[in-house]
């Protein structure tokens, strides 16, 4: 059986561009059905039961007072529900989505399980893998920067069962660089098992990174680094992680893991603040809800980044974070390895510092 974590990720990773749904007009019957199903799902599965009760009560009150009657637009209704639910929960993962294409019905499930925890078929896995491959499994750019500094721009953490081999190839390409910059500024999250897989290359032994507690089933899933991964590990060298206010969910976990383990220097902006994992719940033929059923628990801090984000060690506008990371990496390499690439590193340092000072245009 695939873990529930993998299944949720297969359903919800933002691979590729979704076509824009054409709006439709909805009536009171549709609104009532969506509200009833949303309230039921929240009370049964939302990670914080007391908050779920408050949200369900709010929906019932607004329905009773006919506040939603003015919303004949499906898109406007979904947005209003999202705004109302987030106003109480302050949970940026929790959202209602409208889809023009009809959503397939779901089979009944036992109590205590969410209706999206079905095991993907071989065909579904193959389709997902093909789509992930077209997006290079989330890796947009991998290169050696001046001064032998490695750089990776990746936009999502595709499940390890599909993308671990690609991650291994990426880390192999970077193995001989002297410092590493991991760019998460446009990364919206993904699978915690891929987070753990990539982290495994940055630690020598087995390290406890994170736990995810799930209300359905009252279960906790632990995530550790793997001490035995293919190829060379990237240890004994500095790592820099770039963040922005777009950095979210699994990407925040990656940054938080490395920060709390004192394995990397975070540079950029405070991240988005989403630490409650979950999956899509069908509310109606054209409406679904991303329902957070769990919460992250860091083994060191005993808490997470929900609602507050991950604070960088070096605060700077996200569009200057890469240049700043290069400056910090090059300064340290020049000091620790004065005879290695001295001219290349000094020239690169001067160029990146000039970029930060606004004296030259970015490459």
Per domain, the residue ranges of the chain are 136-286+298-356
In whole angstroms, what is the distance from residue 342 CA to residue 152 CA? 24
Residue 362: predicted pLDDT: 54
pTM for the whole structure: 0.90
DSSP string of 91-156, one letter each residue: -TT-EEEE-SSPPPP-----TTS-TT-PPPPHHHHHHHHHHHHHTGGGEEEEEEETTTEEEEEE--
| 136-286+298-356 has CATH 3.40.50.1370 classification | no
User: How far is Cα 340 from Cα 343, in angstroms, rounded to an integer?
Assistant: 9
pLDDT (tens digit, 0 to 9) for every residue of the chain, 363 residues total? 234 444 445 444 554 445 688 999 999 999 999 999 999 999 999 999 999 999 999 999 999 999 999 999 999 999 999 999 999 999 999 999 999 999 988 755 444 454 445 567 788 889 999 999 999 999 999 999 999 999 999 999 999 999 999 999 999 999 999 999 999 999 999 999 999 999 999 999 999 999 999 999 999 999 999 999 999 999 999 999 999 999 999 999 999 999 999 999 999 999 999 999 999 999 999 999 999 999 999 999 999 999 999 999 999 999 999 999 999 999 999 999 999 999 999 999 999 999 999 976 555
CB 168 within 8 Å of CB 229 = yes
For residue 208, what are the contacts with CB-CB under 8 A and spacing of at least 6?
222, 223, 224, 299
Report the candidate in 234, 11, 180 with the shortest Cα–Cα distance to residue 106. Answer: 11
Question: What does residue 228 show for φ and ψ, rounded to 5 degrees?
Answer: -125, 95
**Does residue 15 come out as left (phi exceeding 0), alpha (psi in the -120 to 50 range) or beta?**
beta
pLDDT of residue 302: 98
8-state DSSP, 178: S
């Amino acid at each position: 059986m695939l873990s529930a974590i993998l299944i949720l990720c297969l359903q919800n990773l933002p691979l590729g561009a979704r076509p824009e749904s054409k709006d439709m007009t909805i009536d009171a019957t549709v609104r009532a059905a969506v509200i009833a199903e949303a309230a039921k799902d929240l009370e049964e599965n939302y990670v914080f039961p007391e908050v779920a009760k408050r949200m369900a009560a709010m929906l019932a009150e607004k329905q009773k007072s006919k506040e939603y009657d003015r919303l004949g637009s499906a898109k406007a209704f979904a947005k209003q529900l999202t705004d109302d639910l987030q106003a109480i929960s302050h949970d940026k993962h929790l959202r209602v989505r409208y889809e023009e294409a009809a959503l397939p019905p779901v089979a009944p499930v036992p109590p205590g399980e969410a209706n999206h925890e079905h095991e993907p078929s071989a065909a579904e896995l193959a389709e997902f893998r093909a789509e992930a491959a077209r997006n290079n499994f989330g890796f947009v750019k991998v290169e050696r920067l001046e001064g032998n500094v490695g750089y990776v721009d990746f936009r999502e953490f595709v499940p390890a069962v599909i993308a671990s081999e690609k991650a291994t190839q990426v880390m192999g390409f970077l193995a001989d660089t002297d410092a590493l910059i991991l760019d998460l500024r446009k990364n919206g999250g993904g699978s915690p098992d891929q987070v753990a897989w990539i982290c495994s290359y940055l630690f020598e032994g087995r390290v406890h990174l994170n736990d995810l507690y799930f209300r359905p089933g009252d279960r906790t899933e632990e995530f550790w680094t793997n001490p035995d991964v293919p190829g060379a590990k990237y240890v004994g060298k500095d790592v820099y992680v770039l963040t922005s206010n777009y950095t979210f969910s699994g990407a925040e976990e990656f940054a938080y893991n490395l920060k709390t383990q004192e394995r990397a220097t975070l540079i950029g902006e405070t991240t988005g603040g989403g630490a409650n994992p979950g999956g899509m719940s069908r509310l109606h033929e054209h409406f679904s809800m991303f329902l957070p059923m769990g919460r992250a628990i860091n083994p060191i801090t005993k808490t997470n980044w929900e609602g507050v984000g991950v604070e960088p060690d070096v605060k700077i506008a996200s569009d200057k974070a890469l240049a700043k990371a290069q400056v910090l990496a090059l300064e340290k390499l020049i000091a620790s390895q004065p005879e290695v690439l001295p001219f290349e590193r000094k020239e690169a340092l001067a160029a990146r510092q000039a970029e930060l000072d606004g004296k030259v245009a970015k490459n």
